[in-house]
Amino acid sequence: MSILIDESTRILVLGITGREAVSITRDTLDYGGLVVAGVTPGRGGRDVHGVPVYNTVREALAEGEPNAAIIAVPPRSVRDATFECIAYNIPLITIVTERVPRLDAAQIVELATQKDIRIIGPNSMGLISPGKAKLGSVGGPAADTARSFHPGSVGIMSRSGGMTTEIASLLAQNGVGVSTAISIGGDPITGSSFASLLPLFEADPETEAIVTFSEPGGVMEAELVEIVKSQGTDLRIVSFIAGNFMAEMPGVRFGHAGALVEHEEDSAAAKASMLRSAGIVVASKLGDIPSLVQQ
């Protein structure tokens, strides 16, 4: 099985005539995804790779009946675009735009929570259930995606879009496949976290293990530890935390806006210790992940 998306997912792309969105649309279609409509105000009546373009979400909903949306608009336009999708109760919204203003991101997450809408991102490359569906640019072109992502029983949750693909590729090289992989986003405020997605993987009978990719900064690991300690989990969780070098190279920082180390407990070493306290396996090297998952 998969979580959040499957072969029947009908996708709406906001900002579809932009350069990045054109590429996302092509890659998603080539992988077999159902991109049913796009929206760019003032560009209604055009098409992108055969996908009709509308001026408003209301028009697109009337024609395409999408149940998932990709937001690929400039940062200052993300709030309005997402609010419009929430207003029409589109249940799954993936925001690929990065560096969305924090107040806007906070308001998006708050409204989505009230309306029971699932937000992935901002700064997400999307999600994929290999052999079934793909939402966003994760994995790149369809041929590359097929090489890296094989169907299987391991879920992936990653702060980095690129590392989502790298981990899937490492697993594939060792004969291990993926149930669903999610690029949760690298901005400071994101709509989904490790802890909020864990129950979805637990409810999937085909998922037997999870790999998480973390960075210094933020509280996602602490939230995951809290839920595992309080509720337990039947899934094996293997985590890799990038950024150990930061302790030896003061001043060096990751490019992601969310990788901000404000306290000692935000460091890679502190996070690793915290995860181990909950029984989560922490990989010292990226290449160790496949063997640790298979154990």
> Any idea what the CATH number is for the domain that residue 66 is in?
3.40.50.261
**Is the model's pLDDT at 19 over the cut of 70?**
yes
Which of 49, 150, 256, 263 does the annotation list as catalytic?
Answer: 256
Number of domains in the chain: 1
Summarize the confidence of residues 26-34 as an average pLDDT.
Answer: 95
Contact between residue 187 and residue 99 where contact means Cβ atoms under 8 Å apart: yes
Question: What average pLDDT does the structure give for the chain?
Answer: 92
* Entry pTM: 0.92
Domain that holds residue 281: 10-294
Range list of β-strands (E), the chain: 10-14, 34-39, 47-48, 51-54, 68-71, 92-95, 118-120, 126-129, 133-136, 151-158, 178-183, 209-214, 236-241, 281-283
pLDDT tens for 243-256 read 764 444 455 455 55
Q: What is the pLDDT of residue 244?
A: 62
Residue 134 maps to a domain: yes
The confidence band for 259, taking pLDDT boundaries of 50, 70 and 90, is very low
Summarize the confidence of residues 66-79 as an average pLDDT.
Answer: 98
pLDDT tens for 174-186 read 999 999 999 999 9
CA nearest to 79, candidates 61, 55, 97, 57: 97
CB atoms closer than 10 angstroms to residue 292: 17
pLDDT tens for 1-12 read 689 999 999 999
pLDDT tens for 129-170 read 999 999 999 999 999 999 999 999 999 999 999 999 999 999
Residue 196 maps to a domain: yes
Q: What is the pLDDT of residue 248?
A: 46
Residue 4 maps to a domain: no
Q: Is 256 a catalytic residue?
A: yes
Residue 2 maps to a domain: no
